[in-house]
């Protein structure tokens, strides 16, 4: 059984649709039109949740995938938009992070997953062409947005 931590979030149709899959839901992200919903899931449920969003709710627009290195975890936030923005958040272990690719569900995710791969080293299983998006050829350093990398 899931636990929605905010009363107003429980009435949200997205939360209702993802009830069996998510860990928590709260409107946490500030935004001028109205604070946005963040739904936390275990990483195993990501593909199922995205499938629910597409099939049941008709969500099509994935804005981007934000990666954040918060040792020892690595967080991925999938920002969607349908009349309002909302976010799916998953946590991966910092060492050798792996996640399932959603490119077959949402082809628009292809470049965003490649960027997260290059910047954070997250391997997306099932991505058709997983190479870093923005890094120079032959980049052998650590992924640039990881915390252990120091610039300058």
Partner 1 sequence: MARTVIPIGPQHPLLKEPLAFQIMLEGERVTDSTMRMGYVHRGIERLCQERTYVQNIHLLERVCGICSHVHAMTYCHAVESLLGIEVPLRAAYLRALLCELERIHSHLLWMGVLARNIGLDTIFMYAWRDREVVLDIMEALSGGRVSHAINIIGGVRSDVTPEDREEILEQLTTLDRQVTRLVGVVEHERSLQTRTKGVGLLSLEQVRRYCVVGPVARASGLDADMRRDEPRTPYDRLSFNVPTHTAGDVWARTLVRMQETRVSVELCRDILKEIPEGPLAVRAPRRVPPGEAISRSEAPRGEVFYYVRSDGSDTPARVKIRTPTLPSLLTLPQQLKGVTMADVSVVLSGVDLCIACADR
Residues making contact with partner 1 (CB under 8 A) = 28-33, 36, 60-64, 66, 68, 77, 79, 81, 83, 85, 87, 106-112, 119, 132-136, 144-145, 151
Token duo for residue 3: 């636990």
DSSP per-residue string spanning 61-72: EEEEEEEEEETT
- As measured in angstroms, the least distance from the Cβ of 90 to partner 1 is 15
CB of 96 to partner 1, least distance (A): 22
Structural contact between residues 66 and 80, judged by C-beta atoms closer than 8 angstroms: no
Q: Cβ closer to partner 1: 20 or 142?
A: 142
- Shortest approach of partner 1 to residue 28 CB, angstroms? 6
Cβ-based neighbours of 97, under 8 Å, separated by 6 or more: 74, 120, 121, 122, 123
Distance CA 76, CA 59 (A): 19
Q: Which is nearer to partner 1, 6 or 81 (CB)?
A: 81
In sequence order, what are the beta bridge partners of 82?
84
Least distance (Å) from partner 1 to the CB of residue 1?
27
If the CB atoms of residues 100 and 143 are measured against partner 1, the closer one turns out to be: 143
Q: Closer to partner 1 at the Cβ: 7 or 151?
A: 151
Give the sign of the dihedral formed by CA 109, CA 129, CA 18, CA 22. Answer: negative
């Amino acid at each position: 059984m899931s636990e929605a931590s905010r009363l107003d979030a429980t009435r949200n149709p997205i939360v209702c649709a993802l009830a069996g899959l998510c860990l928590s839901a709260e409107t946490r992200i500030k935004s001028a039109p109205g604070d946005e919903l963040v739904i936390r899931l275990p990483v195993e449920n990501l593909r199922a949740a995205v499938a629910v969003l597409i099939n049941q709710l008709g969500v099509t627009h994935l804005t981007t995938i934000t990666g954040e290195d918060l040792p020892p975890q690595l967080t991925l936030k999938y920002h969607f938009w349908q009349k309002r923005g909302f976010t799916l958040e998953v946590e991966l272990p910092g060492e050798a992070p792996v996640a399932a690719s959603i490119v077959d569900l949402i082809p628009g995710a292809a470049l965003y997953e490649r960027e997260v791969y290059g910047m954070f080293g997250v391997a997306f299983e099932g991505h058709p062409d997983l190479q870093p998006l923005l890094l120079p050829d032959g980049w052998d350093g650590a992924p640039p947005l990881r915390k252990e990398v120091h610039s300058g």
